[in-house]
């Protein structure tokens, strides 16, 4: 009787091995599910970034305000007859300001 119990227990263990550790076992399924969730998070971030870029492209195609904003922020350009204020902080923490007219800046 004891021998039959050991044989049956061994058979159960042999049947359980593919379920848990085999090619399509639970651990593989769990790992694949974790990888899918990580990829979904990456895809959501990419979709958000793409939506921002798409909105910026549409704005650049439709109006001049976005072009002006980019010219101001990235290229430091100003309009003709516009006054530019620049606030500088010196090494002692005091603020100094400089003003220059747009007509004195080459375009």
Q: How many domains does the chain have?
A: 2
Of the pLDDT bands very low, low, confident and very high (cuts 50, 70, 90), residue 94 is: low
Domain that holds residue 85: 79-107
Same domain, 58 and 9: yes
pLDDT of residue 107: 47
Same domain, 16 and 54: yes
Same domain, 11 and 62: yes
Same domain, 18 and 46: yes
* DSSP structure class, residue 64: S
Same domain, 61 and 92: no
C-alpha dist (Å) from residue 76 to 26, 70, 84, 97, 107: 59, 9, 10, 17, 11
Among 10-14, 45-49, 102-106, the minimum mean pLDDT is found in 102-106
Contact assessment for residue 32 and residue 38, using Cβ atoms and an 8 Å cutoff: no
Q: Is the pLDDT of residue 69 over 50?
A: yes
Same domain, 89 and 64: no
Does the model's pTM come out above 0.85? Answer: no
Contact assessment for residue 82 and residue 99, using Cβ atoms and an 8 Å cutoff: no
């Amino acid at each position: 009787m004891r021998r039959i119990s050991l044989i049956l227990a061994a058979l159960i263990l042999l049947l359980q091995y593919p379920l848990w550790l085999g090619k399509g076992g639970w651990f593989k399924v769990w790992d694949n599910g974790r990888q899918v969730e990580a990829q979904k998070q990456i895809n959501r971030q990419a979709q958000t970034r793409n939506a921002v870029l798409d909105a910026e492209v549409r704005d650049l195609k439709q109006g001049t305000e976005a072009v002006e904003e980019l010219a101001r922020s990235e290229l430091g350009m100003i309009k003709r007859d516009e006054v530019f204020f620049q606030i500088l902080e010196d090494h002692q923490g005091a603020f100094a300001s400089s003003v220059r007219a747009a007509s004195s800046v080459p375009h």
